[in-house]
Structure 1
Amino acid sequence: MAMNRHTIPVTVLTGFLGSGKTTLINRILKEAHGRRFAVIENEYGEINVDADLLVKDGGETVVQLTNGCVCCTVRGDLANALNDLAKQREAGTIQFDHVLIEPTGLADPGPIVRTFMAETELLTRFHLDGVVTLFDAVNGERNLLDSVEAQAQLGYADRILVTKIDLLRERTAVQAADVEAALLATIAAANSVAAVDSISVPDAPWGEVFDKLLEMRGYQFDRVVFTPQPMFRPLAAAKHTPGVGSISFEAEQPLDGLKLNAALAAINERYGEALWRIKGVLAIAGMRSRIVVQGVQGLIQATPSTIWRMFEPQRSRLVLIGRDLDRDWLLAQLGSCVIADAASVADPRIASLH
């Protein structure tokens, strides 16, 4: 499904405890920046708003703030809460142009992302712009070793913003460039497609904040753009993080659509919700259009996109991010779909993937 320009963009802002997520959200809610956001937090969130601003509405708490933003505490179903906010916006009760969803620092963002892929009605009003993960430069690597949730937050990210990089530089006697390069290598090993940058949460100018927080277009169903933009040059080899990994499959020859369906089904059966993210652009034998694949937690959507131009190399690329992935097995499954002679495929169709 192509992104509707008239729908409201939604950004999921996640990050492990101490990464600076709540500080950033509180800045957005309280400071003057000229933007109108609706911030959705769950009942375990740490956002601090003045009690006299609270307006009770059934099981939810909706706060209209003086800087033009809205804060909503969700205790029930996210899709219903979003649709209720949209209805209030349409009625003129509240105003906002963008939604930020703030899960607790211990939350896996996967179910939120899955909501946007599974709830068709929701997509008539909203579109998921992407997942931004704040990564603590000082404690982030230790969190990855200790927490599946921290691994998942990194795995789902379309953009990773490294925080506290100044503290990392102060606390180490090693050359700053070497420390930063090693940190980037660790992040890239876990998620090879997310754009990576740094941010100073307490005092970054609003122009910088919004440039790095918005306009990711990470979940369009008609195009995938692989544009990682590392903030440091990777000088060091990647440090392996147990449990979390990013695997990239590429092919210069077209793929057999039926074999691809079988391979993806096998991958889904083996990994299920442990396959946090899958995205790519595929060339299917006999098909004139690119096939864009977007998937999360076992839910995979394959959508025709633009037409391959004459004489244009039809290259496929698929990236899989998840927990305890067997690289050799995955590449063997996908590699079995590559064919040398596209004309030998009797039925090139790719069916709906679930």
Structure 2
Amino acid sequence: MDLGFVNAGYKIIWANDIDSDACQTYKNNIGNHIVKSDIANINLKDIPKCDIIIGGFPCQDFSLIWKRKGLSTERGNLYKYFVKVVQDKNPKVFIAENVKGLMTANKGKAIMQIKEDFENCGLYGYDLDIDIYNFADYGVPQLRERVLIIGIRKDINFKYRKPFPTHKPDEYVTSEEALQGVKKIPYNNEHQNIKKKTIEMLKLIPEGENFTAIPRNSPYYVKGMISHVYRRLHRNRPSTTIIAAGGGGTWGYHYLEPRPLTNRERARLFGYPDDFIFYGSIASVRKQIGNSVPPPAIKIIADYLKEVFAYKVYETLSKNSISYQQLSLSLNLDNSQEVNGGSEKN
């Protein structure tokens, strides 16, 4: 999410990631203020005070793709470290991002527990807005639905409302539009070596369809568990969700050529600029991109949240009387996030 906030004019003062390659990518594109560590090993005193905290917590235990165990797992409970940072720093705003499956994990009990924990943390508590965002609605060439938990500190007289979409379905940015001229970009544009059998399979799948289009009597017929298997782009539509990991036909495939997408093509489908260079192996870069949040969509939210920082809180002698004065503030941004096997990040 950081790049979207940087593009909106925020200053990031601290960041955290557990993955070495992701840290290198971050340092070379955003700044040297990132700390490589498991969030569980970070001393809260080492995290600076800030105005806003953004980040994600591991998503596999809430994902619709995987078998979900939600809060019953150690990884699923890593969100509590996010809560601890908010509790300690009392930012004016926080944004926590996760997969759509969070809303129904543990029969809805997971989101209710997470909501309660965030609402009651810190000196003042937080008013929450929890909603599902389809980033294609905000100009991203990808049908990517994610949950954003946005908290506004209760002593601030600001009601967050989800920004209106910038694009209607008939105005979505298409895959073909997003990939225009991408072959000329030298960075992260390596092609994978794939088996001849895979090429022949892809030739049987029309653009926009997946493994189910292969005839059952074909020697290339395969069984799959999820719709991502051998899913090809459709040139006149946004991409379907780009995932971070997995083999067996989950790489995402070009609409015209019978091949997997390059990482630069994946980055285009997230809205990354071509000069944003990712570091690591092809699989590592795929993971970094697939775990991230599309910067153009987050910038829209970051711009909208600037209004929060136009007010300063003054508490009078009466505990129930709080006045607000508009002023100009320099913004400090703290991105505290744990990336352990699938949290969304940028």
Give TM class, smaller chain.
under 0.3
User: Scaled by the length of structure 2, what TM-score is found?
Assistant: 0.28
Higher strand share: 1
User: Scaled by the length of structure 1, what TM-score is found?
Assistant: 0.27
Work out which structure has the larger RCO, using CA pairs closer than 8 Å and 6 or more positions apart in sequence: 2
